[in-house]
Amino acid sequence: MNAPLLRVENLQTHLHLRRGVVKAVDGISFEVHEGETLGIVGESGSGKTMTCLSILQLLPTHGGGKIDGSVELDGENLLDLSEDEMAERIRGPKVAMISQDPMTSLNPVYSVGDQVSGPFLYHKLVTTVRDAWAAAANGLRRVRIPSPERRLKNFPHQFSGGMRQRVVTAMAIACSPRLLIADEPTTALDVTIQVQIMALLRSIQKESRVGIILVTHDLSIVAGLCHRIAVMYAGRIIETGKVRDIYRNPQHPYTQALLEAIPHLGQKRTRLAAIPGQPPNLMDLPTGCRFAPRCPKRMSVCDEYPSATNVGDNHVVNCWLAAKH
Amino acid sequence: MGLELHDLSKHFTVRSDRGRATVRAVERVNLEIPEGQTVALVGESGCGKTTIAKLVLMLERPTAGAVTYDGKSLHEMSRTEIKDYRRHVQAVFQDPYASLNPRLTVRRIITEPILAHYRRDRATLNARVAELLDIVGLPASAADLYPHEFSGGQRQRIAIARALALDPKIIILDEPISALDVSIRAQVLNLLMDIQEKFGLTYLLIAHDLALVEHLSTRVAVIYLGSVVETGPSEQIFASPRHPYTQALLNAVPRPDPDYVPKAAESFDDTGSALEPPSGCKFHPRCPHAMAVCKTDNPPLAKLADGREAACHLLTGPHAVPNA
């Protein structure tokens, strides 16, 4: 297999607050290959958004954030780069992000043309504003917004939610990045619009072989779109594998419980297998397996953190149950 | 009898580029909410489902038509009848971070509705609080804590306890689990199902998550731009949706199955606006089966052979297409 586009090794993002240390991301490793989509699934507070922000080094500096480990993009460790290098060479041309809420990620006082043409000018892909607007019109055409030249003059509030998410996507792919990070790109949208955005991401990937990290809390959304999935819980990846293995043969009790605890279409008025308890406090984590306090299959050995077990075909699980077999 | 909506409309006047305009948020909705059932209102954002809930809760006055309870229109009720109605109809809202007063203890939050209706001494109230907390699965010690000391799922339990405090008959559930963590949702869903069975409650469920709706509801009303386009028992609607909009909605729902790819509607036309609804059938600009008549005539909601109702020229009337 070719060298991965992105290799994250033992990434730790700890936030040093007055009240203590929040271990938002606590030693995770994963890879994304060219043309591949990795789904990162987890509930709120599991560290998935912090992982994205750590790759881009967009953590607020005053927040006491400390990133350790390595984030290699095409063999270059992004954590060694200066802020200027990140801004000029990485964010935009190499790694771009689509954020969750298209209502707040566009500036309401600038026209869409001003905003979509921005990346072309900043990264000096064109020299004149006129060329930048022409490039922006092409950008909107790529994300299939009808009559792009006219729409460029509109302001964000004149677009619907789905159209705004297309605009944000057009900005993200403006400089043909190698890696696209989509953080809950459809959570704020209706299902009918959601499938259109997902279809759009799929076609962009087909055209450009871009690697995609798709972050979501909803296991159903990633099923049709991802090649591989990493399930996060309390700052760690607890199971990762090909999409089919994760859905058909989940090994970690948390993954199993997540799949059972969500109502699916075609399932009628039965009690769901609820997961008892709540996710742990990131300032006061259990020493052993972090899911153990809620786990129905807990054993005494779970007081120690389980090592990774490969159960076949790069399907890796951090659970003593898998380690025993 | 229970709750019924008769030709219910709610229009809002807004200022737009060209002076005043009317938003037809709810347009001639007829719906029965039979006792003991869970009726779900589904549709995209902006379709008017929350406005319907507000009309039922008397937080908005209808522009035309009426909400009736046991045969009597809400706006013809006397003060005492309205007080009774408010005891019978309670609500649980989407965001338990916003719907609980942060400055009150859980005890005050739960006893507030009781004290608005009855005089009760402290011992009775405390016993009632303990009982309600037990029903929703919280320890009695929770009564003296404040909302910020609880997680989202626990807060939603407090909101449910408050809704139950007056022994209501009907509870409006407006997106009751969408603000909660995924691993917590099932707990709250199970609780809602348990208390419905225990107290014989009627639910009016507002949700955009169709899998949740299928899971919880017995009847469904699909709403598009303020009007009901298809309604009937939820088994029927989910097993064989007939209105093209219902079909598009269900086709778009993702499933936790790597071999299933949801179908995107071919039209890139976004949701129409309630400010300038299209002529004829409001769904025709997005409809894959639109005919000439759909652009001019709005189809009425009519009964189909299997008992459900739908508003579509393909299904009823002179333009109906057999086996559509």
> For residue range A49-98, what is the model confidence (pLDDT) as tens digits?
899 999 999 887 666 788 999 999 999 999 999 999 999 999 999 999 99
Among A251, A269, A287, identify where a domain stops.
A269
Q: For A243, which of B186, B255, B258 is closest by C-beta distance?
A: B258
Between residues A319 and A105, which one has the greater pLDDT? A319
Residues A149 and A209 in one domain: no
A163: helix, strand or coil = helix
Closest CA to B113 of B137, B135, B89, B133: B89
At B265, the pLDDT band (50, 70, 90 cuts) reads low
At B59, the pLDDT band (50, 70, 90 cuts) reads very high
Q: Report, as an integer, the average pLDDT of A22-30.
A: 93
User: Is A187 within a domain?
Assistant: yes
Q: For B260, which of A217, A224, A274 is closest by C-beta distance?
A: A224
Does A211 have pLDDT greater than 90? yes
Q: What is the pLDDT of residues A222-235, one digit of tens each?
A: 888 899 999 999 99
A185: helix, strand or coil = coil
The DSSP output letter for A87 is I
Residues A16 and A149 in one domain: no
Does A20 have pLDDT greater than 60? yes
Among A159, A176, A193, identify where a domain stops.
A176
Does A283 have pLDDT greater than 90? no
Does residue A200 contact residue A279 with C-beta atoms inside 8 Å?
no
Q: What is the pLDDT of residues A95-124, one digit of tens each?
A: 999 987 777 889 999 999 999 999 999 999
At B266, the pLDDT band (50, 70, 90 cuts) reads low
pLDDT of residue A245: 93
Q: What is the pLDDT of residues B99-115, one digit of tens each?
A: 999 999 999 999 999 99
Residues A204 and A224 in one domain: yes
Residues A157 and A30 in one domain: no
The pLDDT > 90 percentage for chain B reads 69
User: Is A322 within a domain?
Assistant: no
User: Is A321 within a domain?
Assistant: no
Give the structural domain span for A149.
109-176
At B164, the pLDDT band (50, 70, 90 cuts) reads very high
Closest CA to A73 of A181, A153, A184: A181
Residues A80 and A19 in one domain: yes
pTM for this structure? 0.86
ipTM: 0.79
pLDDT of residue B14: 82
Does residue A97 contact residue A181 with C-beta atoms inside 8 Å?
yes
Between residues A301 and B21, which one has the greater pLDDT? A301
pLDDT of residue A269: 60
Residues A168 and A133 in one domain: yes
Residues A12 and A86 in one domain: yes
Q: Report, as an integer, the average pLDDT of A28-53.
A: 93
Q: What is the pLDDT of residues B72-100, one digit of tens each?
A: 999 899 999 999 999 999 999 988 889 99
Domain B3-310 has CATH 3.40.50.2300: no
Contact residues, chain B, for A154 at CB < 8 Å = none
pLDDT of residue B145: 95
Distance between CA B213 and CA A182 in Å, rounded? 28
pLDDT of residue B272: 62
Residues A25 and A158 in one domain: no
Residues A251 and A126 in one domain: no
Q: Which residues pair with A37 in a beta bridge?
A: A212
Residues A171 and A195 in one domain: no
pLDDT of residue B47: 87
Indicate the number of domains in chain A.
Answer: 2
User: Is A282 within a domain?
Assistant: no
At B271, the pLDDT band (50, 70, 90 cuts) reads low
**Residue B214 in contact with partner chain A when CB distance is under 8 A:** yes
pLDDT of residue A267: 67
Q: Report, as an integer, the average pLDDT of A138-163.
A: 89
Contact B185 A261 (CB under 8 A): yes
Residues A85 and A202 in one domain: yes
Encoded tokens for A163: 């159209």
**Residue A243 in contact with partner chain B when CB distance is under 8 A:** yes
pLDDT of residue A97: 93
Q: For B256, which of A144, A223, A279 is closest by C-beta distance?
A: A223
The tally of CA atoms less than 13 A away on the side-chain side of residue B160 is 29
Contact residues, chain B, for A247 at CB < 8 Å = 256-258
Q: Which of A44, A202, A256, A264 to mutate to test the interface with B (most CBs of B within 10 A)?
A: A264
Q: Among A159-168, B162-171, B234-243, whose mean pLDDT is lowest?
A: A159-168
pLDDT of residue A27: 93
Encoded tokens for A34: 């060219």
**Residue A201 in contact with partner chain B when CB distance is under 8 A:** no
CATH number at residue A55: 3.40.50.300
Residues A137 and A197 in one domain: no
